[in-house]
């Protein structure tokens, strides 16, 4: 049997976010992926809980696993407005210079530790709120100023000039946000800030966004002349506004709709293979997903390629069998002629 990443080898690496605690359970499933993202192990509060203490035990183990199993590792994430330790912004007297120094220390120690093993980093994560057309108000921005983003890229690049550096964002297909991302990146490039790529998170649902909107987004992002990666893909069974909690299992209609959505989405990814350098799922199987607690706490969701028993779903075959379905389509065309 071919693994998913082998089927996609002429397109892009296929990745998965995984936590250290799930490595054993997913051991066989992980063979389908040739890239991993530590789901939480590299976040600021995990790695650097106190000013003079770093904890790399968990991320080291994941990176070691990746090395032994020939997988790439994406680093997630260096600068974010959440999951930060209290000490970072603590005290009324934290000045711009102090916070810049803290950021620089964090980035240089973390990026340097993995300079031979982590090939790309989400340097900044979710810096734009929805619908506002401006940089998010965060403690980073308040204390340092808007150039905190530029500084983060420069520190990462100085530490490891080989690493590919990404700006990672959600809801990128939304018009206001897409305009902003594009303008913002053009400015970074004008200022010669070392940015290599845009991370499109890809937290979608079976009804949203419209796939033409996604195609249009890639069309516009591709013109930036940067890499694009889909960094956190999952397809919720529920529309965002749907807070119903009555389902114990996904209906047949949901399973089919999800397979169709994944299939069409991947055909767009394949169209843009020249600029897409990775597609990563935010989880391996439906037994464990952050969407079980978002936007409704404790509501089960089934957004991934493998089911709760770790078996491949229709969605899996929908993206794995694209060559067969292309052949079928060709055959139908010939029949019609």
Q: How far is the CB of 40 from ligand 9MR (least distance, A)?
A: 5
| 3-state secondary structure (DSSP) of residue 336 | helix
Does residue 232 have an active-site annotation? yes
Where does residue 67 fall: left (phi above 0), alpha (psi -120 to 50 degrees), or beta otherwise? alpha
Task: Report if residue 40 touches ligand 9MR, rule: CB under 6 A.
Answer: yes
Catalytic-labelled residue, pool 41, 126, 150, 173 = 126
- CA atoms of 217 and 173, how far apart (whole Å): 5
Spatial contact of 38 and 17, defined as CB atoms under 8 Å apart: yes
Number of residues lying near ligand 9MR (CB under 6 A): 8
Interaction of residue 258 with ligand 9MR, rule CB under 6 A: no
CA 105 → CA 48, 87, 285, distances in Å?
A: 10, 14, 36
> In this chain, which stretch among 36-44, 102-110, 301-309, 312-320 interacts with ligand 9MR, using CB under 6 A?
36-44
Q: Which of 11, 282 has the CB closer to ligand 9MR?
A: 282
68 catalytically annotated: no
Ordered DSSP codes for 117-160: T--EEEEEE--S-TTS-S----HHHHHH-TTHHHHHHHHHHHH-
DSSP helix/strand/coil, 168: strand
83 makes contact with ligand 9MR (CB under 6 A)? yes
Q: Within 285-314, which residues bind ligand 9MR (CB under 6 A)?
A: 290
| 232 contributes a contact to ligand 9MR by CB under 6 A | yes
User: For residue 218, how many other CB atoms are within 10 A of its CB?
Assistant: 20
Residue 328 CB, nearest approach to ligand 9MR (Å) = 36
| CB 234 to ligand 9MR: min, Å | 9
Which one is catalytic: 39, 150, 173, 232? Answer: 232
- CB-based closest residue to ligand 9MR: 290
Buried b (16+ CB within 10 A) or exposed e, 32-58: bbbbbbbbbbbbbebbbeeeeeeebeb
Q: Give the per-residue contact string, 106-135, with ligand 9MR (x = CB under 6 A; - = no).
A: -------------------x----------
Q: For residues 81 and 139, is the Cβ–Cβ distance under 8 A?
A: yes
Task: Decide: is 150 part of the binding site for ligand 9MR (CB under 6 A).
Answer: no
Q: Compute CA distances 107 → 37, 144, 158, whole Å.
A: 17, 16, 10
Minimum distance from CB of 39 to ligand 9MR (Å)?
A: 5
- For binding to ligand 9MR (CB under 6 A), which residues are involved? 39-40, 43, 83, 125, 201, 232, 290
Residue numbers annotated as active site = 126, 232
């Amino acid at each position: 049997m071919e693994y998913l990443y082998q089927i996609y080898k002429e397109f892009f690496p296929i990745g998965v976010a995984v936590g250290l605690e799930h490595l054993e359970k997913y051991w066989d499933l992980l063979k389908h992926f040739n890239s991993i993202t530590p789901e939480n192990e590299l976040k600021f509060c995990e790695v650097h809980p106190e000013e003079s203490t770093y904890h790399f035990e968990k991320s080291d183990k994941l990176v070691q696993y990746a090395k032994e199993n020939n997988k790439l590792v994406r680093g997630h994430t260096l600068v974010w407005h959440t999951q930060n330790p209290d000490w970072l912004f603590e005290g009324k007297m934290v000045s711009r210079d102090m916070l810049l120094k803290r950021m620089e220390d964090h980035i240089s120690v973390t990026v340097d530790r993995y300079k031979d093993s982590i090939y790309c980093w989400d340097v900044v994560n979710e810096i734009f709120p929805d619908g506002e057309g401006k940089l998010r108000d965060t403690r980073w921005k308040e204390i340092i100023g808007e150039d905190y983003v530029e500084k983060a890229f420069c520190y990462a690049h100085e530490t490891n000039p080989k690493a590919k550096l990404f700006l990672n964002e959600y809801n990128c297909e939304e018009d206001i946000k897409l305009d902003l991302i594009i303008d913002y990146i053009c400015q970074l490039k004008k200022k010669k800030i070392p940015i290599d790529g845009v991370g499109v998170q890809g937290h979608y649902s079976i009804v949203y966004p419209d796939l033409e909107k996604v195609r249009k987004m890639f069309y516009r992002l591709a013109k930036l002349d940067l890499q694009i990666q889909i960094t956190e893909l999952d397809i919720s069974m529920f529309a965002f506004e749907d807070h119903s909690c009555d389902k114990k299992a996904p209906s047949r209609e949901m399973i089919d709709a999800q397979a169709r959505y994944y299939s069409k989405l991947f055909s767009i990814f394949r169209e843009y293979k020249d600029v897409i350098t990775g597609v990563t799922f935010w989880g391996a199987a439906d037994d464990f997903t952050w969407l079980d607690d978002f936007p409704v706490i404790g509501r089960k969701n089934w957004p991934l390629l493998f089911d709760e028993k770790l078996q491949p779903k229709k969605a899996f075959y929908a993206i794995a069998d694209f060559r067969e379905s292309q052949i079928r389509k060709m055959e139908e065309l010939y029949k019609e002629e």
